[in-house]
Structure 1
Amino acid sequence: MKILAVDTTAAAASVALCEDGFLCGEYYVNIKQTHSQTIMPMAVSLLKSCGVEIKDIGLIAVSAGPGSFTGVRIGVAAAKGLALPFNIPCASVSSLEALATNLIGTNAVICSVMDARRNQFYNAIFENVGDKLNRLTPDRAIAFTELEKEISDIVLSGKRLILVGDGAKICYNNLNGRTNAEIAPFNLRFAHASSVAAVGAKLYNAGKTISAEELIPFYLRLPQAERELKRRKGFDV
Protein backbone atom coordinates (compact mmCIF):
# COMPACT_ATOMS: atom_id res chain seq x y z
CA MET A 1 0.00 0.00 0.00
CA LYS A 2 1.21 3.48 -0.86
CA ILE A 3 1.14 6.08 1.93
CA LEU A 4 1.44 9.81 1.33
CA ALA A 5 2.45 11.65 4.51
CA VAL A 6 2.44 15.36 5.34
CA ASP A 7 3.97 17.38 8.18
CA THR A 8 3.69 21.16 8.67
CA THR A 9 3.44 21.35 12.46
CA ALA A 10 6.65 23.36 12.99
CA ALA A 11 9.06 25.49 10.94
CA ALA A 12 9.99 22.58 8.65
CA ALA A 13 7.61 21.22 6.02
CA SER A 14 7.88 17.77 4.52
CA VAL A 15 6.02 15.21 2.44
CA ALA A 16 6.92 11.55 1.98
CA LEU A 17 5.76 8.66 -0.15
CA CYS A 18 6.15 5.17 1.30
CA GLU A 19 5.08 1.75 0.08
CA ASP A 20 5.01 -1.37 2.25
CA GLY A 21 7.65 -0.07 4.65
CA PHE A 22 9.90 1.32 1.90
CA LEU A 23 10.59 5.06 1.59
CA CYS A 24 10.06 5.90 -2.08
CA GLY A 25 10.81 9.60 -1.70
CA GLU A 26 10.71 12.54 0.68
CA TYR A 27 10.82 16.31 0.21
CA TYR A 28 11.90 18.40 3.20
CA VAL A 29 12.45 22.15 3.58
CA ASN A 30 13.30 24.07 6.74
CA ILE A 31 13.75 27.61 5.48
CA LYS A 32 10.70 29.20 7.13
CA GLN A 33 8.71 29.62 3.94
CA THR A 34 4.94 29.81 4.29
CA HIS A 35 3.64 26.25 4.43
CA SER A 36 0.49 27.23 2.55
CA GLN A 37 2.69 28.11 -0.43
CA THR A 38 4.99 25.09 -0.32
CA ILE A 39 3.23 21.94 0.89
CA MET A 40 0.88 21.25 -2.02
CA PRO A 41 3.51 21.93 -4.74
CA MET A 42 5.88 19.64 -2.79
CA ALA A 43 3.26 16.87 -2.69
CA VAL A 44 2.45 17.19 -6.39
CA SER A 45 6.15 17.25 -7.35
CA LEU A 46 6.96 14.23 -5.17
CA LEU A 47 4.16 12.16 -6.68
CA LYS A 48 5.26 13.14 -10.20
CA SER A 49 8.90 12.29 -9.44
CA CYS A 50 7.86 8.86 -8.18
CA GLY A 51 5.52 8.22 -11.09
CA VAL A 52 2.50 7.91 -8.81
CA GLU A 53 -0.96 9.49 -9.12
CA ILE A 54 -3.03 10.54 -6.15
CA LYS A 55 -5.67 7.93 -7.02
CA ASP A 56 -3.01 5.26 -6.39
CA ILE A 57 -2.58 6.32 -2.74
CA GLY A 58 -4.09 3.98 -0.14
CA LEU A 59 -3.62 6.18 2.92
CA ILE A 60 -2.86 9.82 3.68
CA ALA A 61 -1.11 10.35 7.02
CA VAL A 62 -0.79 13.81 8.52
CA SER A 63 0.65 15.30 11.68
CA ALA A 64 -2.57 16.70 13.10
CA GLY A 65 -0.89 18.33 16.12
CA PRO A 66 0.15 19.57 18.49
CA GLY A 67 2.29 22.30 17.01
CA SER A 68 2.02 25.71 15.40
CA PHE A 69 -1.68 26.53 15.17
CA THR A 70 -1.35 27.81 11.59
CA GLY A 71 0.95 24.96 10.59
CA VAL A 72 -1.38 22.32 11.98
CA ARG A 73 -4.34 23.82 10.13
CA ILE A 74 -2.42 23.96 6.85
CA GLY A 75 -1.30 20.32 7.09
CA VAL A 76 -4.77 19.06 7.96
CA ALA A 77 -6.36 21.15 5.18
CA ALA A 78 -3.81 19.82 2.66
CA ALA A 79 -4.48 16.21 3.72
CA LYS A 80 -8.25 16.72 3.46
CA GLY A 81 -7.91 18.33 0.03
CA LEU A 82 -5.83 15.42 -1.25
CA ALA A 83 -8.01 12.72 0.27
CA LEU A 84 -11.55 13.95 -0.40
CA PRO A 85 -11.76 13.57 -4.23
CA PHE A 86 -10.87 9.86 -4.07
CA ASN A 87 -12.24 9.02 -0.60
CA ILE A 88 -8.75 8.06 0.58
CA PRO A 89 -8.67 7.07 4.26
CA CYS A 90 -6.62 9.26 6.58
CA ALA A 91 -4.44 8.70 9.64
CA SER A 92 -4.36 11.46 12.25
CA VAL A 93 -0.83 11.25 13.66
CA SER A 94 0.53 12.80 16.85
CA SER A 95 3.40 15.08 15.87
CA LEU A 96 5.12 14.13 19.14
CA GLU A 97 4.92 10.42 18.38
CA ALA A 98 6.25 11.04 14.88
CA LEU A 99 9.22 12.89 16.37
CA ALA A 100 9.96 10.00 18.72
CA THR A 101 9.77 7.60 15.77
CA ASN A 102 12.83 9.37 14.31
CA LEU A 103 14.86 7.72 17.10
CA ILE A 104 13.66 4.13 16.85
CA GLY A 105 16.65 1.89 17.48
CA THR A 106 18.30 4.03 20.17
CA ASN A 107 16.91 1.92 23.06
CA ALA A 108 16.48 5.13 25.04
CA VAL A 109 13.76 7.17 26.68
CA ILE A 110 12.73 9.73 24.07
CA CYS A 111 11.43 13.11 25.18
CA SER A 112 9.62 14.88 22.31
CA VAL A 113 9.53 18.63 22.92
CA MET A 114 8.04 21.34 20.72
CA ASP A 115 8.25 25.01 21.65
CA ALA A 116 4.75 26.07 22.71
CA ARG A 117 5.87 29.58 23.75
CA ARG A 118 4.63 31.17 26.99
CA ASN A 119 7.27 29.13 28.94
CA GLN A 120 5.66 25.85 27.92
CA PHE A 121 6.47 22.88 25.71
CA TYR A 122 4.24 20.48 23.86
CA ASN A 123 5.61 17.22 25.16
CA ALA A 124 5.26 13.46 25.33
CA ILE A 125 7.71 10.87 26.63
CA PHE A 126 8.26 7.46 25.05
CA GLU A 127 10.56 4.51 25.65
CA ASN A 128 12.16 2.71 22.73
CA VAL A 129 12.96 -0.98 23.13
CA GLY A 130 14.19 -2.62 19.93
CA ASP A 131 11.72 -1.63 17.21
CA LYS A 132 8.94 -0.84 19.70
CA LEU A 133 7.94 2.61 20.91
CA ASN A 134 6.06 2.59 24.21
CA ARG A 135 4.21 5.73 25.26
CA LEU A 136 4.90 6.82 28.87
CA THR A 137 2.83 10.03 28.91
CA PRO A 138 -0.04 11.53 26.89
CA ASP A 139 0.53 14.49 24.60
CA ARG A 140 0.42 17.56 26.82
CA ALA A 141 1.38 21.22 27.25
CA ILE A 142 3.79 21.37 30.19
CA ALA A 143 5.85 24.02 31.97
CA PHE A 144 9.63 23.59 31.83
CA THR A 145 9.90 23.30 35.63
CA GLU A 146 7.60 20.27 35.64
CA LEU A 147 9.33 18.69 32.65
CA GLU A 148 12.78 19.23 34.16
CA LYS A 149 11.82 17.20 37.23
CA GLU A 150 10.54 14.32 35.09
CA ILE A 151 13.70 14.37 32.96
CA SER A 152 15.91 14.39 36.07
CA ASP A 153 14.02 11.46 37.59
CA ILE A 154 14.41 9.40 34.39
CA VAL A 155 18.13 10.14 34.08
CA LEU A 156 18.71 9.42 37.79
CA SER A 157 17.07 6.01 37.28
CA GLY A 158 19.99 5.14 35.00
CA LYS A 159 18.15 5.37 31.70
CA ARG A 160 19.46 7.17 28.63
CA LEU A 161 17.22 10.12 27.66
CA ILE A 162 17.26 11.93 24.31
CA LEU A 163 15.48 15.22 23.53
CA VAL A 164 13.97 15.57 20.06
CA GLY A 165 11.89 18.26 18.37
CA ASP A 166 12.12 21.98 17.66
CA GLY A 167 12.10 22.60 21.41
CA ALA A 168 14.95 20.17 22.10
CA LYS A 169 17.76 22.73 21.98
CA ILE A 170 15.81 25.24 24.10
CA CYS A 171 15.04 22.56 26.66
CA TYR A 172 18.64 21.27 26.62
CA ASN A 173 20.02 24.80 27.14
CA ASN A 174 17.57 25.44 29.98
CA LEU A 175 18.74 22.24 31.69
CA ASN A 176 22.20 23.86 31.70
CA GLY A 177 24.02 20.61 32.39
CA ARG A 178 21.94 19.72 35.44
CA THR A 179 21.20 16.26 34.01
CA ASN A 180 22.86 13.96 31.49
CA ALA A 181 20.05 14.33 28.97
CA GLU A 182 21.20 14.19 25.33
CA ILE A 183 19.99 16.13 22.34
CA ALA A 184 19.21 14.36 19.06
CA PRO A 185 21.56 15.10 16.14
CA PHE A 186 20.29 17.75 13.74
CA ASN A 187 19.38 15.24 11.01
CA LEU A 188 17.01 13.42 13.39
CA ARG A 189 15.91 16.33 15.58
CA PHE A 190 13.06 17.73 13.52
CA ALA A 191 9.79 16.38 12.15
CA HIS A 192 9.98 14.24 9.01
CA ALA A 193 6.99 13.10 6.98
CA SER A 194 8.58 9.65 6.62
CA SER A 195 8.14 9.17 10.38
CA VAL A 196 4.54 10.38 10.06
CA ALA A 197 4.06 7.68 7.42
CA ALA A 198 5.49 5.03 9.79
CA VAL A 199 3.03 5.98 12.53
CA GLY A 200 0.23 6.18 9.97
CA ALA A 201 0.97 2.62 8.86
CA LYS A 202 0.63 1.43 12.46
CA LEU A 203 -2.73 3.18 12.78
CA TYR A 204 -3.89 1.65 9.48
CA ASN A 205 -2.91 -1.85 10.60
CA ALA A 206 -4.74 -1.29 13.90
CA GLY A 207 -7.91 -0.24 12.05
CA LYS A 208 -7.65 3.35 13.35
CA THR A 209 -8.06 5.33 10.15
CA ILE A 210 -10.66 8.04 9.65
CA SER A 211 -12.32 9.73 6.70
CA ALA A 212 -11.18 13.10 5.37
CA GLU A 213 -14.38 14.61 6.77
CA GLU A 214 -13.49 13.39 10.27
CA LEU A 215 -9.94 14.73 10.15
CA ILE A 216 -9.51 17.75 12.47
CA PRO A 217 -6.55 19.61 14.04
CA PHE A 218 -5.36 18.63 17.52
CA TYR A 219 -4.24 21.78 19.33
CA LEU A 220 -3.86 20.96 23.09
CA ARG A 221 -4.23 24.70 23.78
CA LEU A 222 -6.66 27.30 22.56
CA PRO A 223 -5.39 29.47 19.70
CA GLN A 224 -4.06 32.87 20.83
CA ALA A 225 -7.07 34.79 19.50
CA GLU A 226 -9.43 32.64 21.57
CA ARG A 227 -7.20 32.96 24.66
CA GLU A 228 -7.17 36.75 24.34
CA LEU A 229 -10.94 36.84 23.95
CA LYS A 230 -11.42 34.71 27.09
CA ARG A 231 -9.00 36.97 29.01
CA ARG A 232 -11.01 40.04 28.04
CA LYS A 233 -14.10 38.27 29.32
CA GLY A 234 -12.40 37.58 32.63
CA PHE A 235 -11.65 33.88 32.23
CA ASP A 236 -8.39 32.41 33.55
CA VAL A 237 -6.45 30.97 30.58
Structure 2
Amino acid sequence: MVLLGIDTSAKAASVAICDETQLLAEAMVNTKLTHSQTIMPMVQSMLENAHIALNQVDAFAVSAGPGSFTGLRIGIAAVKGMAMALNKPCVAVSTLEALAYNLRGFEGIICAVMDARCNQVYTASFRAHSGAVERLTEDSALPIEELIRQLTQFQEPVFFVGDGAGLCYNNKNVCLFDARLAPEHMVNQSAASVCRLALERMKAEPLAAVGAEAISPVYLRLPQAERELRQKQAAL
Protein backbone atom coordinates (compact mmCIF):
# COMPACT_ATOMS: atom_id res chain seq x y z
CA MET A 1 0.00 0.00 0.00
CA VAL A 2 1.24 3.47 -0.92
CA LEU A 3 0.07 6.20 1.44
CA LEU A 4 0.40 9.97 0.95
CA GLY A 5 0.27 12.09 4.11
CA ILE A 6 -0.10 15.82 4.72
CA ASP A 7 0.37 17.97 7.82
CA THR A 8 -0.49 21.69 7.72
CA SER A 9 -1.57 22.04 11.35
CA ALA A 10 1.09 24.60 12.34
CA LYS A 11 3.72 26.92 10.82
CA ALA A 12 5.70 24.04 9.30
CA ALA A 13 3.99 22.21 6.43
CA SER A 14 5.05 18.75 5.33
CA VAL A 15 4.11 15.98 2.92
CA ALA A 16 5.29 12.37 2.82
CA ILE A 17 4.84 9.12 0.93
CA CYS A 18 5.38 5.73 2.49
CA ASP A 19 4.48 2.12 1.99
CA GLU A 20 3.99 -0.56 4.64
CA THR A 21 7.72 -1.02 5.17
CA GLN A 22 9.46 2.34 4.66
CA LEU A 23 9.31 6.09 4.12
CA LEU A 24 9.68 6.69 0.38
CA ALA A 25 9.85 10.50 0.27
CA GLU A 26 9.24 13.53 2.46
CA ALA A 27 9.28 17.31 2.05
CA MET A 28 8.91 20.11 4.60
CA VAL A 29 8.89 23.90 4.55
CA ASN A 30 8.87 26.26 7.50
CA THR A 31 8.64 29.70 5.89
CA LYS A 32 6.32 32.70 5.95
CA LEU A 33 4.50 31.49 2.84
CA THR A 34 0.95 30.29 3.44
CA HIS A 35 0.22 26.59 3.21
CA SER A 36 -2.11 27.25 0.28
CA GLN A 37 0.96 28.45 -1.65
CA THR A 38 3.25 25.58 -0.76
CA ILE A 39 1.36 22.35 -0.12
CA MET A 40 0.33 21.26 -3.63
CA PRO A 41 3.66 22.24 -5.27
CA MET A 42 5.38 20.16 -2.57
CA VAL A 43 3.12 17.19 -3.31
CA GLN A 44 3.79 17.44 -7.04
CA SER A 45 7.56 17.79 -6.62
CA MET A 46 7.73 14.93 -4.13
CA LEU A 47 5.77 12.59 -6.38
CA GLU A 48 8.01 13.45 -9.33
CA ASN A 49 11.19 12.87 -7.32
CA ALA A 50 9.87 9.55 -6.03
CA HIS A 51 8.75 8.53 -9.53
CA ILE A 52 5.26 7.82 -8.23
CA ALA A 53 2.14 8.92 -10.09
CA LEU A 54 -0.70 10.33 -8.04
CA ASN A 55 -3.03 7.57 -9.25
CA GLN A 56 -0.61 5.01 -7.74
CA VAL A 57 -1.42 6.30 -4.24
CA ASP A 58 -3.75 3.85 -2.49
CA ALA A 59 -4.89 6.09 0.39
CA PHE A 60 -4.39 9.52 1.90
CA ALA A 61 -3.63 10.53 5.50
CA VAL A 62 -4.03 13.95 7.05
CA SER A 63 -3.43 15.63 10.37
CA ALA A 64 -6.96 16.69 11.30
CA GLY A 65 -6.23 18.71 14.44
CA PRO A 66 -5.94 20.32 16.77
CA GLY A 67 -3.96 23.15 15.25
CA SER A 68 -4.21 26.31 13.19
CA PHE A 69 -7.79 26.79 12.03
CA THR A 70 -6.76 27.94 8.56
CA GLY A 71 -3.91 25.46 8.28
CA LEU A 72 -6.09 22.47 9.10
CA ARG A 73 -8.67 23.50 6.51
CA ILE A 74 -6.00 23.84 3.81
CA GLY A 75 -4.52 20.40 4.46
CA ILE A 76 -7.88 18.67 4.69
CA ALA A 77 -9.13 20.41 1.54
CA ALA A 78 -6.02 19.25 -0.35
CA VAL A 79 -6.53 15.64 0.76
CA LYS A 80 -10.25 15.74 0.02
CA GLY A 81 -9.61 17.07 -3.49
CA MET A 82 -7.09 14.36 -4.38
CA ALA A 83 -9.01 11.54 -2.72
CA MET A 84 -12.34 12.47 -4.30
CA ALA A 85 -10.79 12.80 -7.75
CA LEU A 86 -9.24 9.33 -7.46
CA ASN A 87 -12.01 7.74 -5.38
CA LYS A 88 -9.47 6.71 -2.74
CA PRO A 89 -9.95 6.37 1.06
CA CYS A 90 -8.63 8.77 3.71
CA VAL A 91 -7.44 8.45 7.30
CA ALA A 92 -7.62 11.42 9.68
CA VAL A 93 -5.26 11.32 12.66
CA SER A 94 -4.71 13.47 15.73
CA THR A 95 -1.98 16.06 15.24
CA LEU A 96 -0.85 15.47 18.82
CA GLU A 97 -0.68 11.69 18.47
CA ALA A 98 1.31 12.04 15.24
CA LEU A 99 3.71 14.35 17.08
CA ALA A 100 4.24 11.64 19.69
CA TYR A 101 5.26 9.28 16.89
CA ASN A 102 8.22 11.58 16.17
CA LEU A 103 9.74 10.18 19.39
CA ARG A 104 8.56 6.62 19.02
CA GLY A 105 12.00 5.15 19.71
CA PHE A 106 12.40 7.04 22.99
CA GLU A 107 11.62 5.66 26.47
CA GLY A 108 9.45 7.74 28.80
CA ILE A 109 6.52 10.13 28.70
CA ILE A 110 5.92 12.13 25.54
CA CYS A 111 4.02 15.37 26.04
CA ALA A 112 2.85 16.68 22.67
CA VAL A 113 2.16 20.41 22.89
CA MET A 114 1.05 23.01 20.35
CA ASP A 115 0.89 26.73 21.01
CA ALA A 116 -2.79 27.70 21.36
CA ARG A 117 -1.97 31.32 22.28
CA CYS A 118 -3.12 33.16 25.42
CA ASN A 119 -0.79 31.01 27.60
CA GLN A 120 -2.63 27.86 26.56
CA VAL A 121 -1.54 24.77 24.64
CA TYR A 122 -3.22 21.94 22.82
CA THR A 123 -1.81 18.86 24.47
CA ALA A 124 -1.93 15.11 25.05
CA SER A 125 0.43 12.75 26.87
CA PHE A 126 1.70 9.36 25.75
CA ARG A 127 4.07 6.69 27.06
CA ALA A 128 6.79 5.46 24.70
CA HIS A 129 8.19 2.02 25.46
CA SER A 130 9.92 -0.61 23.32
CA GLY A 131 9.02 1.17 20.08
CA ALA A 132 5.31 1.48 20.93
CA VAL A 133 3.31 4.61 21.80
CA GLU A 134 0.49 4.34 24.35
CA ARG A 135 -1.99 7.19 24.74
CA LEU A 136 -2.40 8.36 28.35
CA THR A 137 -4.67 11.42 27.99
CA GLU A 138 -7.16 12.72 25.48
CA ASP A 139 -6.42 15.75 23.32
CA SER A 140 -7.30 18.93 25.20
CA ALA A 141 -6.65 22.67 25.46
CA LEU A 142 -5.07 23.63 28.79
CA PRO A 143 -3.35 26.58 30.44
CA ILE A 144 0.39 25.90 30.48
CA GLU A 145 0.51 26.07 34.27
CA GLU A 146 -2.20 23.41 34.56
CA LEU A 147 -0.34 21.10 32.16
CA ILE A 148 2.91 21.49 34.09
CA ARG A 149 1.06 20.66 37.31
CA GLN A 150 -0.34 17.48 35.77
CA LEU A 151 3.07 16.36 34.52
CA THR A 152 4.57 16.39 38.02
CA GLN A 153 2.86 13.03 38.66
CA PHE A 154 5.26 11.20 36.34
CA GLN A 155 8.44 9.60 37.68
CA GLU A 156 9.76 8.99 34.16
CA PRO A 157 11.50 11.50 31.86
CA VAL A 158 8.98 13.79 30.13
CA PHE A 159 9.85 14.76 26.55
CA PHE A 160 8.18 17.87 25.12
CA VAL A 161 7.52 17.81 21.38
CA GLY A 162 5.63 20.20 19.12
CA ASP A 163 5.67 23.92 18.40
CA GLY A 164 4.70 24.58 22.03
CA ALA A 165 7.56 22.50 23.43
CA GLY A 166 9.78 25.48 24.17
CA LEU A 167 7.00 27.33 25.98
CA CYS A 168 6.58 24.41 28.37
CA TYR A 169 10.23 23.46 28.72
CA ASN A 170 11.11 27.05 29.72
CA ASN A 171 8.37 27.25 32.35
CA LYS A 172 9.85 27.90 35.80
CA ASN A 173 8.09 24.86 37.31
CA VAL A 174 9.54 22.19 35.01
CA CYS A 175 12.25 21.73 37.62
CA LEU A 176 9.67 19.69 39.56
CA PHE A 177 10.11 16.72 37.20
CA ASP A 178 12.60 15.33 34.68
CA ALA A 179 11.67 17.56 31.71
CA ARG A 180 13.47 17.18 28.39
CA LEU A 181 13.14 18.85 25.00
CA ALA A 182 12.81 16.87 21.78
CA PRO A 183 15.78 17.23 19.41
CA GLU A 184 15.40 20.16 17.03
CA HIS A 185 14.95 17.95 13.94
CA MET A 186 12.13 16.03 15.67
CA VAL A 187 10.24 18.82 17.40
CA ASN A 188 7.93 19.93 14.55
CA GLN A 189 4.88 18.23 13.09
CA SER A 190 5.80 15.62 10.48
CA ALA A 191 3.80 14.13 7.62
CA ALA A 192 6.00 11.02 7.90
CA SER A 193 4.64 10.48 11.41
CA VAL A 194 1.11 11.11 10.11
CA CYS A 195 1.67 8.33 7.56
CA ARG A 196 3.14 5.93 10.13
CA LEU A 197 0.26 6.48 12.55
CA ALA A 198 -2.34 6.15 9.78
CA LEU A 199 -0.87 2.84 8.62
CA GLU A 200 -0.99 1.44 12.15
CA ARG A 201 -4.54 2.70 12.56
CA MET A 202 -5.65 0.96 9.36
CA LYS A 203 -4.07 -2.32 10.46
CA ALA A 204 -5.75 -2.17 13.87
CA GLU A 205 -9.06 -0.66 12.75
CA PRO A 206 -10.25 -1.69 9.27
CA LEU A 207 -12.90 1.06 9.37
CA ALA A 208 -10.33 3.81 10.03
CA ALA A 209 -10.10 4.49 6.29
CA VAL A 210 -13.18 6.43 5.20
CA GLY A 211 -14.46 8.41 2.27
CA ALA A 212 -13.12 11.93 1.80
CA GLU A 213 -16.50 13.44 2.67
CA ALA A 214 -16.20 12.08 6.23
CA ILE A 215 -12.97 13.97 7.01
CA SER A 216 -13.36 17.19 9.02
CA PRO A 217 -11.12 19.38 11.23
CA VAL A 218 -10.90 18.86 15.00
CA TYR A 219 -10.48 22.28 16.60
CA LEU A 220 -10.92 21.56 20.36
CA ARG A 221 -12.01 25.16 20.93
CA LEU A 222 -13.88 27.88 19.06
CA PRO A 223 -12.05 30.29 16.72
CA GLN A 224 -10.88 33.49 18.42
CA ALA A 225 -13.39 35.66 16.58
CA GLU A 226 -16.27 33.50 17.77
CA ARG A 227 -14.94 33.41 21.34
CA GLU A 228 -14.72 37.22 21.38
CA LEU A 229 -18.23 37.54 19.97
CA ARG A 230 -19.65 35.26 22.66
CA GLN A 231 -17.81 37.25 25.35
CA LYS A 232 -19.37 40.47 24.05
CA GLN A 233 -22.82 38.88 23.90
CA ALA A 234 -22.44 37.59 27.47
CA ALA A 235 -21.49 41.06 28.66
CA LEU A 236 -24.68 42.63 27.29
TM band (smaller chain): over 0.9
| Aligned residue in 2 for 1:151 | 151
Q: Deviations over 1:29-77 (max 9, x none)?
A: 1123210100011011111111111111111000000011111111111
**1:204 match:** 202
The CA distance in 1 between the partners of 2:48 and 2:12, in whole Å, is 22
Whole-Å separation in 2 of the counterparts to 1:140 and 1:112: 11
Looking at structure 2, the residues matched to 175 and 82 of structure 1 have their Cα atoms a distance apart, in angstroms, of 46
Cα-to-partner distance string for 1:10-45 (whole Å, 9 max, x where unaligned): 110000010123111100111232101000110111
1:172 counterpart = 2:186:
no
Q: Match for 1:62: what amino acid?
A: V
- Name the CA distance, whole Å, in 2 between partners of 1:175 and 1:153: 17
Could you say which residue in structure 2 is the equivalent of 1:75? Answer: 75
2:197 corresponds to which letter in structure 1? V
Amino acid of the structure 1 residue aligned with 2:65: G
* Aligned match of 1:225: 225
Q: How far off is 1:228 after superposition?
A: 2.0
2 CA distance for matches of 1:94 and 1:177? 26
The 1:175–1:209 alpha-carbon spacing in structure 2 relative to 1, beyond 3 Å, is farther
Task: Tell me how far apart the structure 1 counterparts of residues 99 and 229 of structure 2 sit (CA, whole Å).
Answer: 32
Aligned residue in 2 for 1:194? 192
Question: How far apart in 1 are the matches of 2:173 and 2:157?
Answer: 17
**Aligned equivalents of 1:229, 1:202: Cα separation in 2:** 41
Matched residue of 2:15: which SS? strand
Please give the residue correspondences for 1:7-156 in structure 2 after superposition, counting only pairs within 5 Å: 7-154=7-154
Gapped regions of structure 1 (runs ≥ 5) = none
Post-superposition offset of 1:176 = 5.5
Give the letter aligned to residue 105 of structure 1: G
Hey, what's the Cα distance between the residues in 2 that align with 1:65 and 1:175?
28
Question: Shift of residue 229 of structure 1?
Answer: 2.1
Write the deviation string for residues 137-176 of structure 1: whole angstroms up to 9, x where unpaired. Answer: 000001112111112221xx2x111000000001111135
1:160 to 157, 162, 167: 157
Q: What letter corresponds to residue 27 of structure 2 in structure 1?
A: Y
Identity of aligned residues (%): 47
Label 1:122 to 1:177 Cα distance change in 2 as closer, same or farther (>3 A).
closer
Aligned length: 232
How many angstroms apart in 2 are the aligned matches of 1:183 and 1:234?
40
Cα pair distance change 1:152/1:175, threshold 3 Å: farther
Q: Which runs of 5+ in 2 are unaligned?
A: none
For the aligned residues, what is the CA RMSD? 1.2
Normalised TM-score (structure 1): 0.95
